[in-house]
Amino acid sequence: MPYPLVGAGLGSEMAGDPIAVDIEARDLVRELVSSLHYLRHVDLDTVGGALRLAIPAQHPDPSPADAVKSLSKRQRLDLAFEAIAPSEYDAVCARFLQHGDLTIELKNRVEDLLWSRENWPSITVRTRREVAEALDEVDAIWLESDKLLDLVKRHWVLSSPEWSFDWKDPYESVVQHMIRNPGDWTTMEFFKEIGALDGGDRRFVLFLEGLLSGSVNPKEARQRELAAAISPILARAGLKIVESGTTDGYPDFTIVAAGTRPRPAQLILFAGQHGKPSLRVRDVLDQSIEVLTGDDSVLAYDVPVTERGLTWRDVESWWSRRQGVPPEQAKRELWRRLTSVCSDVSPAQRALLVAYYDYAKDHDPLFALLPEVWLHWDPVSRRQRGEDAYLNQRMDFLMLLPRLRRVVLEVDGEQHYTTSARQPSPRIYSKTTRGDRDLRLAGYEVYRFSGYELGEDRAANTVSEFFDRLLDRS
């Protein structure tokens, strides 16, 4: 493999009960593909290409004169569905979500399926009730009525009452009791009516983030008051609210698992080749760091990483812009740099890198796996600093995943537990374990691999089994 390829789909190994979830995904994909039947034959060709569906031609025979050999739209779509491998169901769902013209109900079902793959903490009904009660203590939970209604429509599918003979806007009750007469409903009653007490965990979290946003509450003091009211309740559920940026001048609040870093990464120094990079602080008050070392020594990714994580396409685009080269050239240059750096460290580290990108090349998004990433930097040498020196100054690999997850992968060679004379050393091993504890307490996830696991005939299985579980095909 000369360099990693950015492919089409999300991973799609099923989580939970493989039989039940597989059936759910299969039926949903069948429904999604069938939903294209309203299109004309010629439009199916265009839409099928955008969704990467193998929709056969209307006239599979070279001679279209024989009408009997023409396929109906239903037949074309049935054949397109049958051509989809079960391992691609999640990828197809994601592409429909991105490119398809879905109804609100179908869009929510697709989101729920994909979000079910995420390892999101369970949010109990009790927690949701306590959140509602805490919000009631703060008074009104919105300042912009139209944005509140947009938020409800974005996340919750409501239906008209069964007893109504005439069509009625299913969201009219929200308008009536939350907006026109804001004292009619408590927040608890509001949550019950829209389905927030029993909806999916991820959907509930996104809904809360919307309530805390500057669009629904364009007053920073109100945003912070709401966040402070529900923070202790979420903490008991293993969650916390972090300030992750700004939008239109108002703070953004993101709900993440406890232990997650409070803000996205701002600078990543990786793929170092020639020792410690040269840095200086340009502005102490702004914590602005200037990298003096050239690209031949270390690469400096200086684009703030968003809450969706860091993908290979992000890194490739950054290098393409920085060097002024086409994307394909940037991809090749970066791949050569990453493999070269890993080869200089150890065959096992290179094996992990190559096996990961080979495993993930058809996944979308393809999250970047960056080697030799600087975690700590001290202008004084370890020998000079003595016992106060930082441990684990560099990480073998770093991945930045959605929801501000920072994942560290370490490849253990003999130096992690033996002396230079290859004698087992409890002192050296204790430094390794202490460094891991420090990382975990700082909000990083740390996973270690032995060189044996990454041997030539074992690396592919080791990597695929690990990343299947880490990414959970989300």
User: Which secondary structure element, helix H or strand E, spans residue 446, and what is its range?
Assistant: strand 444-450
User: Which secondary structure element, helix H or strand E, spans residue 401, and what is its range?
Assistant: strand 394-401
Backbone angles phi, psi at 454, to 5 degrees: -105, 20
Ramachandran area for residue 228 (φ above 0: left; ψ -120 to 50: alpha; else beta): alpha
Q: How far is CA 361 from the centre of its chain?
A: 16
Q: How far is CA 472 from the centre of its chain?
A: 11
Tens of pLDDT, residues 93-150 = 988 988 878 888 899 999 988 888 776 778 999 999 999 999 999 888 999 999 999 9
Count of positions (residues) in the chain = 474
Tens of pLDDT, residues 310-362 = 999 999 999 999 999 998 999 999 999 999 999 998 999 999 999 999 999 88
Tens of pLDDT, residues 154-195 = 999 997 655 555 567 889 999 999 999 988 999 999 999 999
Tens of pLDDT, residues 395-415 = 899 999 887 788 999 998 655
Torsion of CA 405, 440, 205, 116, to 10 degrees: 70
The reported pLDDT for the residue numbered 318 is 94
Cα distance between residue 422 and residue 258, in whole Å = 39
Is the pLDDT reported for residue 45 higher than 90? no
Pairing label, strands 444-450, 405-412: parallel
The reported pLDDT for the residue numbered 427 is 62
For residue 223, count other CB atoms closer than 10 A to its CB: 22
Cα distance between residue 464 and residue 320, in whole Å = 29
Q: Which of 462, 467, 471 is nearest to 351 (CA)?
A: 462
Tens of pLDDT, residues 223-244 = 999 999 999 999 998 888 988 8
- E strand intervals along 128-258: 239-247, 250-257
The reported pLDDT for the residue numbered 3 is 38
Domain ranges in the chain are: 18-115, 125-257, 268-471
